[in-house]
Structure 1
Amino acid sequence: MVKFNMEEHPHRRFNALTGDWVLVSPHRAKRPWQGQVEKGQQTERPQYDEKCYLCPGNERIGGENNPQYTGTYVFTNDFSALLTDTPLGKDGDDELFRAESEQGICKVICFSPRHDLTIPEMTQEAVRGVVDVWQKEYTELGRHDFVNYVQIFENKGAVMGCSNPHPHGQIWSSRSIPVEPMKEQVRQLAYLQKYNRTLLGDYLKKELEKKDRLIYQNENFVVLSPYWAVWPFEAMIVSKRAVADLSLFTDAEKEDLADAYRQLTIRYDNLFEVSFPYSAGIHQAPTDGEDHPEWHFHMHFYPPLLRSATVKKFMVGYEMLATPQRDITPETSASRLRALSDIHFKKATK
């Protein structure tokens, strides 16, 4: 009788953070590939672009001018998805038709004044500046009485909906706790109440023992491909200390978070020797005034590239209508990323 093998046979994996499942089909990764495998075209961008509305000194879409900033620069989004002056209100007269107003603040963070850089090409000092801004904005936005959650995220690359290549991220703060963080809160709280330990603390301890999905680690953070990963080269950065949010980080932890951020994204770029697209975001405790010992800081990375710089993974068909699915296992993805150089390919070829 054939024995079940996770590296050979289709199986489902449970996401302990959200309660969702993912279908893994490792045998499909062995099928012959006759599609594109070429490297992506490298687009050289200038350090300053007079037409870019995020470059220092330039006029933004909303009509205001950026200052001549030299580090990170934060401003309220000129076309925010959420507004501070939205009046409270509801619509719907039964359980099948429900709507309620939403209030919040949306900001943009320019990571660097340089138009031609991305996180993996920035210095450690510059990326540390980004982390410092994250901490400051999370704390300040969370003080508003109508802000109960602060979502920090980055979309990199046109394929992930990024309309401007200038290195930047966003922060959307809202009255309600969004769907994905809420799912994680429910799971983490239930785990804490059952074991009096954080879910990710126990998960991280076991991942460090197994080592199969580790990509990189330093003194305070671990970079890994999660057991339940959906995207081909999905990754998480998890704090070794069970810290609920950015506001509680020490200087050493902020330095190591910047290092982990750089190290992962350098390996992403090196994988197919292209500016690797992804959506990334921080999940941490709500800012609703309550204590949240269940929360354990982590950052998700969802990249779409599958086999080369031009072959992408999309959620279509079965995945949209039934269950997310992946071919290569997280163990294989982690092994490939772990083996890559920590020197950016552009620097290595000079």
Structure 2
Amino acid sequence: MPTFDLAEHPHRRYNPLTGEWVLVSPHRSKRPWQGQQEETVCDERLAYDETCYLCPTNTRANGEQNPDYPATYVFDNDFGALQEATPVGSFEKGGLIRAESERGICRVICFSPRHDLTLADMEVADIRKVVDLWQQQYLELGSLDFIRYVQIFENKGAIMGCSNPHPHGQIWAQSTVPVEPAKETKQQEAYFEVNRRSLLQDYLTLELEEKSRVISENDHFVALVPFWAVWPFETIIISKRHFQHIGQMDEAEKDAYSHIIKSVTTTYDRVFGVSFPYSSGIHQSPTDGQDYPGWHFHMHFYPPLLRSATVKKFMVGYEMMGNPQRDITPEAAADLLRSLL
């Protein structure tokens, strides 16, 4: 029998943040750029679009007019999935049919007044304004007595279901902790209880020793392809200092965070020569008033593109019925991303 090799043989990889596994099949596709390269559609946009409901001075669907904002702008989502006025209530039958009301606040954050810019196109100083607003919103929403979690995220690109190309993200603040952060809370707190250290701090130490999955780093943050990555070019940004949430970032860390977001997003755009789609989100401690010593601030990027600008990885078949699977190893993906810095 040959010696087991992560780069050659099918294997499972464990995700310590969620306690779940991903199947890796490197023999199926050893080079991420193999396969047909479809012709891409030119994505040219104006700096201002009079039909865009997010551009400055334009009227939104609910009839309200945006101010002539010069930088970032935040407002309550006109069609939010959560509502602050939702009454407390529940439904139960036989212990198996259960429902509970969910109260919350949904907001939209315009990253820039420019309709044609993404985070990858923006100057670091302007990304820093976005980071400042994220911090302010986390602290403001998290201080409300009925909010238990503040989820900051971005869907970029039509392929990710983004209905408006104007650079923007969202914040959903709600009265319970969502499934993914709840799994990460359980895993990180359990690890800290046993080891008295942060799970991600120990993991980051291992990654910085090995270097094979590290994309870029600065004094305060590291961007890497996680060992357990599911999406082809998935990355995670991890703070070097162990802290729980964005509200605890100091000025130097906010500058460094802005720089590494710029690094990740511009590198993505070079992979297939297009404005790279993704879903990204910040994971941080709940806002329910409890201490979470194990929580370690980080940000996920989940891009769907596989072999070209128009070939997307779908979660189908085995992945829907069994567990996630990938062909490109995280190490191969990291090699490519690192070469494009």
TM-score by length of 2: 0.98
1:185-215, CA deviations, whole angstroms, 9 ceiling, x for partnerless residues? 0000100000000100100011000101000
**Equivalent in the alignment of 1:344:** none
Provide the C-alpha distance between the structure 1 equivalents of 2:56 and 2:33, rounded to a whole number of angstroms.
45
Gap runs ≥5 in structure 1:
342-350
CA contact (8 A) 2:32 2:333 kept: no
Question: How far apart are 1:268 and its partner, in Å?
Answer: 0.2
Q: Which shows bigger deviation, 34-43 or 194-203?
A: 34-43
Compute the displacement of 1:42 (Å): 2.2
**CA 1:274/1:39 → structure 2, altered by over 3 Å: closer, same or farther?**
farther
Describe how 1:160-309 pairs up with structure 2 within 5 A: 160-309=160-309
Structure 2 Cα separation of the partners of residues 107 and 152 of structure 1:
9
Cα distance in 1 between the residues matched to 2:132 and 2:41: 33
Change (3 A) 1:18 1:142: same
Q: Deviations over 1:84-116 (max 9, x none)?
A: 111101101332111100000000000000000
> Does the alignment pair 1:15 with 2:12?
no
- CA gap 1:338/1:65 in 2 versus in 1, 3 angstroms: same
Tell me by how many angstroms 1:36 deviates. 3.0
Say which is worse superposed, 91-100 or 144-153, in terms of deviation.
91-100
Aligned to 1:120, the other structure's residue is in SS state coil
Contact 1:39–1:308 (8 Å) recurs in 2:
no
**Aligned mates of 1:186, 1:220 — CA distance in 2:** 25
Partner residue in 1 for 2:131: 131
* TM-score, normalising length: structure 1: 0.96
Partner residue in 1 for 2:89 = 89
Contact 2:22–2:325 (8 Å) recurs in 1: yes
Contact 1:131 1:258 (8 Å CA) reproduced:
yes
1:299 match: secondary structure: strand
- Contact 1:232–1:306 (CA under 8 A) maintained in structure 2: yes
CA contact (8 A) 2:225 2:236 kept: yes
What is the alpha-carbon distance in structure 1 between the residues aligned to residue 151 and residue 340 of structure 2? 30
- Which string of whole-angstrom CA distances, capped at 9 and with x for unpartnered residues, describes residues 120-142 of structure 1? 00000110000000000000000
| Secondary structure, aligned partner of 2:120 | helix
> Which structure 1 residue ranges, 4+ long, deviate > 6 Å from structure 2?
31-34
The answer to whether the aligner puts 1:150 opposite 2:154 as a matched pair is: no
> 1:259-306: CA deviations, max 9, x gaps?
111100000001111000000000000000111111000000000001
Length, aligned pairs only: 341
Conserved in 1, the CA contact under 8 Å of 2:32 and 2:332? Answer: no
Structure 1 position 38, deviation (Å) = 3.3
Q: 1:243 to 1:322 in 2, by over 3 A?
A: same
1:311, distance to aligned residue in structure 2 (A): 1.0
* Cα RMSD, aligned residues only: 1.3
Q: 1:36·1:310 contact (CA, 8 Å) conserved in 2?
A: no
- Separation (CA, whole Å) in 1 of partners of 2:50 and 2:13: 48
Which ranges of structure 2 fall in alignment gaps of 5 or more residues?
Answer: none
In 2: Cα distance, 1:196 partner to 1:294 partner: 8
Change (3 A) 1:32 1:209: closer
Is the partner of 1:152 in helix, strand or coil?
A: strand
What is the letter of the counterpart of residue 218 of structure 1? N
| In 2: Cα distance, 1:32 partner to 1:328 partner | 6
The alignment-based identity, stated in percent, is 62
Q: Label 1:28 to 1:69 Cα distance change in 2 as closer, same or farther (>3 A).
A: same
| C-alpha distance 34-264 of structure 1, shift in aligned 2 (>3 A) | closer
Instruction: Identify if the C-alpha distance between structure 1 residues 8 and 260 changes in structure 2 by more than 3 Å, giving closer, same or farther.
Output: same
